[in-house]
Amino acid sequence: MSSCVKRGENSNQNSFSILIALKGEEARNGKDYIKLWVDDTLKFSGSYHIRYSEGDLDDIWGMEIASINKGNKSKIKIKLKLISLDSVLFLGKRIVDTTFNYDIHNIPCISIADIRYRGYFNVFDTINSPEHWKIE
């Protein structure tokens, strides 16, 4: 499902993907609702589901929720809203709403991961955190 660069793969320089990786992988399936806007345009609205399982590494970086054509953009505005359908999200908060700008000119995708016990997001990309994309 991920279109991120892995060893031996070529990437389309104009394509950019956003993935979400929620802690607990399959345990969170259907328990979180995601809304994602890119440059004020709603790109995704739906439940979180991932097919990652031991031995199947296709979804290891998370669920792909948007793919856009970068065109001549070097930065995009990302607005992400996570709505917990149970009470486990981010230290008991039911909704997490965040907006940030991200430099995309030199990368094919990002994975936005949550760290529930600390209550914040991490953004991984192939330039600023290349170790995240390596599978040994």
Q: Higher confidence at residue 55 or residue 88?
A: 88
Q: Report how far apart, in Å, the C-alpha atoms of 44 and of each of 7, 22, 78, 82, 91 are.
A: 28, 16, 12, 11, 24
At 6 the pLDDT is: 38
Would you identify the CATH topology of the domain 15-133? Substrate Binding Domain Of DNAk; Chain A, domain 1 (2.60.34)
Domain positions in the chain are 15-133
User: What's the pLDDT tens digit per position in 83-96?
Assistant: 888 877 666 778 88
